[in-house]
Structure 1
């Protein structure tokens, strides 16, 4: 899943080397924290959050076969 997120996000940003995904796993949930360069935040979020919503949709659909709830957080 980490590779999927990086594959989606890296072509969108100006600084692909600054794209990092950190994974935190609990008993009932997996949280992916997407970290990008501060100047690329707007590109990842998109107008009215459309790009972020599309990324989350793909990630959630891919992870729906797992027994745990998946969350994607976007930060600097």
Structure 2
């Protein structure tokens, strides 16, 4: 078992809009995002992972998150 945390900075391509009674934010083309993942690698070779991953888009004040299950298969 091995817990892990991942973070960084990236870019998203597309059109984003945040529409609420207080604000109307729009952006197109490239905007930056901040990915953040909190997870746990399982198994004798840590080849199975369970994680919660989030993307924050500060330009349009949005975030998206997901629960993920991954399996690593060695090619050798």
> TM-score, length-normalised on structure 1?
0.27
The TM-score with structure 2 as length reference comes to 0.27
Whose radius of gyration is greater, 1 or 2? 2
More strand by share: 2
**Larger relative contact order (CA 8 Å, sep ≥ 6):** 1
More helix by share: 1
